[in-house]
Amino acid sequence: MARTEEVTPAAVAGTGIELNGIEVIAESERSGQPRSLFWPWFASNISVLGVSYGAFTLAFGVSFVQAVIAGIVGIVVSFALCGVIALAGKRGSAPTMVLSRAAFGVNGNRLTAALSWLLTVGWETVLVILATLATATVFTRLGWGGGTGTKVVALVVVSAITVLAGVAGFAVVMRLQTVITVVTAVLTVVYMVLAAGHIHWSTVSSLPAGSTQHVIGALVFLMTGFGLGWVNAAADYSRYLPRTASGRSVFGWTTFAAALGPVVLLVFGLLLAGSSESLSGAIGADPIGALTTLLPTWFLVPFAIAAVLGLIGGAVLDIYSSGLALLTAGVRIPRYLAAGVDGVIMIAGTIYVVFFGSTFIGEFQGFLITLGVPIAAWAGVMLADVALRRRDYAEDELFDPRGRYGNLRALPLTLVVGGTAIGWGLVTNTYAGWLDWQGYLLGPLGLGGKQGSWAFAGLGILVALVIGLVGTLVGSAGTVRRQEDA
């Protein structure tokens, strides 16, 4: 059957720009080993922003030990979900949101592709905002001026690197991530050595323990901020591996590389934030810049390099995947133009927040909670769909609504919509006035209402994930068998 949605880019041969869009990667272009996945996943998650998550986590009112447990479980489990989706990339050699068509139908998948696009564009904007603010803070401490002019230059440089890498495509992204991994890892270790003197174990160990609800809230926040923020792009980087690559290795390298940096940085951040209440508060206003107050002047420039490169590493993966999601949602333009469109939106969002927006952390948490619910429901459906399949995807039929995957599948879409409706009713969002309608089920279900003990536990994200997962395992098993028998 014909692949009715393939878009052939304009003749750009010799420019180094990736010509592949959302089509299945040809056998001749698949190469490498699963260990090559270490570079993009480690580089995109080694940002010193992970240190700031220590303050965010302690804000839930948990002790150091509780925060460490919530961090390790939340980070590793959420990135393990990415590892499962990466398996689908190896088996189908297509972007994540194209493979999602097997679960939702070719056109039914447009809704979830649009959600994925919104999430990845949001994340890349957040990362560029942080890089811009961090640069300005470092320049201020050095006495070089950290005002509007510095922010404009930082925005231009960071955006240019991010957009150009996204436009160039897979090969450039992989090479850039290798460089970012090495440079950022070395400089981050140096930062940890220099900042270690600000840790006071007696203060950290005396932090009072929180309730079960507090621990669950921290756990869900960390799952959403780490692995669940990447799960909708996890197959985009394993799709170039040969079909003969070890599935266990694909899963292992993805999970290990993505979780390693965040776990180490989170624990270090918990020690720092737990040692200083003033530092913890400052991180809320400027999550990266506040960390410079612990450094000697001579290391400020290397710190800025480490911080900005780490953030660029995440933004580059996001803009590459957001372009693919935009194409999957139905926009008929070449992949490199899609990345360019997303870059324009990213820059516009950064300008608004940096020059006109309010405090950062409130908008950030509101963004995570609101989008985390439907993405969790989608992830549940997709994880179950991958687990049910025993054969490779029928490649051509991922692009044809008349094929075995169909035009629109009602059950998975119902699970996402229903899971989102229930999930939004079980989370509260006080970070922006227009989001205070959430949490509408906490009272009727006897969970204490919007001010009760479960109000900030983030139950809606876990419930949405379970609804998508269990609903698909129970309701789609027969459909998947019929698809594979066709």
pLDDT value of position 38: 94
pLDDT value of position 425: 96
Q: Which residues, 6 or more positions from 194, have their beta carbon under 8 angstroms from its beta carbon?
A: 294, 295, 296, 299
Q: How far apart are CA 207 and CA 57, in angstroms?
A: 13
pLDDT value of position 288: 83
Q: Is a pLDDT exceeding 50 seen at residue 342? A: yes
The hierarchical CATH code for the domain 35-485 is 1.10.4160.10
pLDDT value of position 102: 96
Region 342-361: what's the mean pLDDT? Answer: 82
At 38, which amino acid appears?
A: F
pLDDT value of position 6: 39
Q: Is a pLDDT exceeding 70 seen at residue 39? A: yes
Q: Is a pLDDT exceeding 50 seen at residue 14? A: no
At 69, which amino acid appears?
A: I
Region 458-464: what's the mean pLDDT? Answer: 95
Confidence band for 367, pLDDT divided at 50, 70 and 90: confident
Check if the beta carbon of residue 342 is closer than 8 Å to that of residue 233.
no
Confidence band for 139, pLDDT divided at 50, 70 and 90: confident
Region 439-467: what's the mean pLDDT? Answer: 93
Q: Is a pLDDT exceeding 90 seen at residue 468? A: yes
- Residue with the bigger pLDDT between 417 and 288: it is 417
Q: Is a pLDDT exceeding 70 seen at residue 159? A: yes
Confidence band for 140, pLDDT divided at 50, 70 and 90: confident
pLDDT value of position 15: 53
pLDDT value of position 138: 86
Q: How far apart are CA 151 and CA 377, in angstroms?
A: 37
- Residue with the bigger pLDDT between 197 and 354: it is 197
Q: Is a pLDDT exceeding 60 seen at residue 47? A: yes
pTM of structure: 0.90
pLDDT value of position 362: 63
Q: How far apart are CA 242 and CA 91, in angstroms?
A: 9
Confidence band for 267, pLDDT divided at 50, 70 and 90: very high
Region 270-280: what's the mean pLDDT? Answer: 95
pLDDT 10s digits, 389-403: 998 899 899 999 999
pLDDT 10s digits, 203-230: 999 999 999 999 999 999 999 889 998 9
pLDDT value of position 144: 83
With 0-12 / 13-18 / 19 or more C-beta atoms within 10 angstroms meaning exposed / middle / buried, residue 157 is: middle
- Residue with the bigger pLDDT between 472 and 132: it is 472
Q: Which residues, 6 or more positions from 356, have their beta carbon under 8 angstroms from its beta carbon?
A: none
Q: By C-alpha distance, which of 287, 366, 396 is closest to 54? A: 287
Q: Is a pLDDT exceeding 70 seen at residue 196? A: yes
Q: Which residues, 6 or more positions from 347, have their beta carbon under 8 angstroms from its beta carbon?
A: 128, 155, 159
Q: Is a pLDDT exceeding 80 seen at residue 13? A: no
Q: Is a pLDDT exceeding 80 seen at residue 255? A: yes
pLDDT 10s digits, 16-36: 788 889 999 988 888 889 999
pLDDT value of position 352: 85
Q: Is a pLDDT exceeding 70 seen at residue 257? A: yes
pLDDT value of position 365: 65
CA–CA distance from 226 to each of 222, 269, 328, 335 (Å)? 6, 15, 24, 26
Region 301-323: what's the mean pLDDT? Answer: 93
The structural domains of the chain, with segments of one domain joined by +, span: 35-485
Region 347-369: what's the mean pLDDT? Answer: 75
